[in-house]
């Protein structure tokens, strides 16, 4: 039982900016924008998860 709480709270101990609510909200908004933005021609991987996935697997197939 000790492991579960330590895994949940360890990121906050090693990332002091995790306590800043404004930064947490901004990071969450950036992540959701990246997640829901559709990829396409000319879209960078930093802007869309779909394009990021394509870039990561371009040599795998």
Residue 57 lies in a domain: yes
The yes-or-no verdict on residue 3 having pLDDT over 80 is yes
Residue 30 lies in a domain: yes
First to last CA, the chain: 42
d(CA 3, CA 54): 35
pLDDT tens by residue, 4-57: 888 877 777 777 766 788 888 888 898 888 777 776 666 666 777 777 877 777
Residue 29 structural domain: 18-61
Report field, pTM of the whole predicted structure over 0.85: no
Residue 13 lies in a domain: no
Nearest to 35 by CA among 46, 25, 43, 24: 46
Number of domains in the chain: 1
């Amino acid at each position: 039982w000790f492991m579960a709480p330590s895994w949940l709270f360890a990121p906050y101990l090693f990332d002091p900016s995790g306590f800043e609510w404004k930064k947490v909200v901004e990071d969450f908004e950036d992540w959701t924008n990246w997640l829901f933005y559709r990829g396409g021609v000319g879209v960078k991987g930093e802007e869309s998860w779909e394009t990021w996935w394509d870039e990561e697997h371009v040599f795998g197939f």
